[in-house]
Amino acid sequence: MTRKRNIASALVAFAAVAAYTSHQVRAEGSADLDCKLKFSLSTWSAIYKHSEGHGIVTCENGKSMRVNIVANGAGLTAGKSHIDGGTGRFSDIHRITDVLGSYAQGEAHAGVVKSGTAQLLTKGTVSLALAGDGEGVDLGIDIGKFTLSRKH
Q: What is the CATH number of the domain that holds 97?
A: 2.40.128.480
Residues 104-120 have a mean pLDDT of: 78
| Sign of the four-CA dihedral 42, 123, 23, 65 | negative
Q: Are 106 and 63 in contact (CB under 8 A)?
A: no
pLDDT in tens, 35-55: 999 999 999 999 899 999 999
pLDDT beyond 60 at 84: yes
As a whole-number percent, the residues of the chain with pLDDT over 70 amount to 78
Instruction: Please tell me the total count of domains within the chain.
Output: 1
pLDDT beyond 80 at 22: no
Task: Supply the range of the domain harboring residue 135.
Answer: 2-150
pLDDT in tens, 44-83: 999 899 999 999 999 999 999 999 999 999 999 899 989 9
Task: Please give the mean pLDDT across all residues of the chain.
Answer: 82
Close Cβ partners of 71 (under 8 Å, ≥ 6 residues apart) = 41, 43, 49, 50, 51, 52, 105, 144, 145, 146, 147
Cα–Cα distance list, 108 to 5, 38, 57 (Å): 11, 21, 25
pLDDT beyond 70 at 93: yes
| Integer Cα distance of 115 and 70 in angstroms | 19
| Integer Cα distance of 40 and 147 in angstroms | 14
